[in-house]
Amino acid sequence: MSLVLPALVVATELAAGVIAHGARDRPLVALTFDLCPTRAPVELDERIVDALVGADAPATFFVSGRWAQARPEGVRRLAAEPRFEIANHTFHHPHLLASGDATVHDELVVTDHLLESMTGRTPRWFRPPYGEVDARIVRLASEAGLGTIQYDVVSGDPSPGATADGLVRTVLSHARPGSIVVMHANHRRFATADAVPRIVDGLRARGLRLVTVSELLAVEPAR
């Protein structure tokens, strides 16, 4: 199954078909959070979830299959929130550019099936691990029914020494209409939880409305 993407949101500076932002003439911003299994312990920072829910702030979570297997209760928590969207972040979080077509296909499809079995909804979007993507990966994702999502605002939350003040400053100084912001919710040691309430308030104070990726791109959410 192929997914047809609206041309106005395709980031032409990237590989064709990679979406890094939405339309710049609408005051919408998508907060996104990756859930990767790359470092122990495998966690869900519930403080981020609580902050988003408390602020009635939509968000999209890109979930790896291995993370989902380790934290099924976390997947169920996210799926229970009507303002959240769950998307695909591959199964093992591999370097896809060094992987063959069959491996890429399995990474996407197995994760889709797992997340569908856990949430009742098939993901519509995919984010490549490490931001590594080219036209071949986009094509394979499209064949699996997934649009490829990147970002145009990098919070920097996994970086050693990153502080909440720094994350807030980075996001608020770079976000603009149509932005997709990437953060992480898989480690409590990141400063993200302390930064999220201030990021939400700061974006709203600028007249920007928070939405899921599907809402940003004016695409019906997965059912």
Helices then strands (H, E): number in the chain?
8, 9
Residue 112 annotated to the active site: no
Task: Count the residues in the chain.
Answer: 223
Maximum alpha-carbon separation in the chain: 46
Tell me which DSSP letter residue 159 carries.
S
Yes or no: say if 42 and 186 are a contact pair by the CB < 8 Å rule. Answer: yes
Q: Report how far residue 2's alpha carbon sits from residue 140's, in angstroms, rounded to the nearest whole number.
A: 9
Q: Report how far residue 214's alpha carbon sits from residue 205's, in angstroms, rounded to the nearest whole number.
A: 23
CB atoms under 10 Å from CB of 2, counted, come to: 11
Active-site position among 21, 89, 184, 187: 184
Q: Report how far residue 90's alpha carbon sits from residue 94's, in angstroms, rounded to the nearest whole number.
A: 8
Residue 113 annotated to the active site: no
Structure-block tokens of residue 13: 């500076």
Active-site position among 21, 34, 45, 152: 34
Enumerate the β-bridge partners of residue 35.
63
Catalytic residue numbers, as ranges = 34, 184
